[in-house]
Amino acid sequence: MTKFLTFTLFFFIIFAVNAQNNGQSLIAKGAKVLKAGDGYKFTEGPSVAPDGRVFFTDQPNDKIDIWSENGTITTFMQPCDRSNGTYFNKKGELVACADLNNRLVAITMDKQMKTIAENYNGQPLNAPNDLWIAPNGGIYFTDPYYHRDYWKTGRTELQDKRGVYYLNPEGKVIRVIDDYKQPNGLIGTTDGKTLYVSDINDGKIWKYTINSDGTLSNKTIFAPEGSDGMSIDNKGNVYLTNKTVSVFDKTGKKIAAIEVPEQPSNVCFGGKKRNILFITARTSVYTLKMKVKGVN
């Protein structure tokens, strides 16, 4: 019994040391998680603009703010149709999951908003939550259902599935996943070949091959954790947000768990060099300087 306990303790010490070392290989020397702003109700949806600024949402306050590398935060748009997840397209427009009217919108930098998707097979979407734009311009987005008190009328028409959809470059919405309990965060690789999607209520991240027509195949388990938002770095590591910012390498091995003062909701890489991890976490936003760089 003593030998067993000694071996077990040794194993966990080695595991902890390895995990710490791997985590430190991602983070800049001496860097710590720093609070960049607070006073929000629920921060979400960070995405990096071409110039390195990070746009993020505060859905309960119906606004989008902008973080700059010099430490300033300014308001970009309020109201913003209750935007949640966001992502910049190649035109420099901010594509957002606009929860107020359950649609995807594209917002220009002069704050003009247009609808780009709002139904599937003639039925309104449940409420798009998060999105990722593929290299070809196609948009993958999750469509769970979280009831909102600000909806003025009761939702009577809903999709029969809490699904994941693909808005192809021609403007057609295709359902690509229909077997989740509650889809949420998602991210893809820069080559457009792989998509990671969170089934947050099932506590799993799934990995898919992206086919030439935008459909998905080769569903395999990637990580035994759910995630609200996701990002990816230039080493292929995938960043999840749950109790911590969990980091998995491209083989599905957990290599780090970054502690944040508040529970993180989403994450992206910002700054001109894309080496600042930007974390939305409930009432605040946080930054952490990294050795690796973001690619999304």
Q: Per residue in 279-290, pLDDT tens?
A: 999 999 999 999
Residue 96, token pair as written in the block: 């957002």
Would you say residue 259 has pLDDT above 50? yes
Q: What percent of the chain has pLDDT over 90?
A: 87
Would you say residue 177 has pLDDT above 70? yes
Identify the band that residue 14 occupies on the pLDDT scale cut at 50, 70 and 90: very low
**Domain range holding 190?**
2-289
Residue 58 in any domain: the answer is yes
Which amino acid is present at 30? G
Residue 295 in any domain: the answer is no
Q: What is the mean pLDDT of residues 156-164?
A: 88
Residue 39, token pair as written in the block: 């006073």
Predicted confidence at residue 149, as pLDDT, reads 86
CATH number, domain of 64, equals 2.120.10.30
Identify the band that residue 25 occupies on the pLDDT scale cut at 50, 70 and 90: confident
Identify the band that residue 5 occupies on the pLDDT scale cut at 50, 70 and 90: very low
Q: What is the mean pLDDT of residues 232-250?
A: 97
Contacting residues for 57 by C-beta, under 8 A, at least 6 apart = 43, 44, 45, 63, 64, 65, 80, 83, 84, 85, 86, 96
Give the Cα separation of 290 and 28 in Å (integer). 5
| Longest alpha-carbon distance in the chain | 69
Number of domains the chain is built from: 1
**What 3-state class would DSSP assign to 289?**
strand
> Which residue carries 């139904």 as its tokens?
119
**Which of 92, 121, 90, 87 lies closest to 104, judged by CA?**
87
Q: Are strands 63-67 and 54-58 parallel, antiparallel or unpaired?
A: antiparallel
Identify the band that residue 1 occupies on the pLDDT scale cut at 50, 70 and 90: very low
Q: What is the mean pLDDT of residues 154-170?
A: 90
Q: What is the mean pLDDT of the chain?
A: 92
Contacting residues for 133 by C-beta, under 8 A, at least 6 apart = 87, 88, 89, 95, 139, 140
Residue 259 in any domain: the answer is yes
**What 3-state class would DSSP assign to 286?**
strand
Residue 294 in any domain: the answer is no
- The answer to whether 33 touches 48, Cβ cutoff 8 Å, is no
Predicted confidence at residue 3, as pLDDT, reads 44
Residue 211 in any domain: the answer is yes
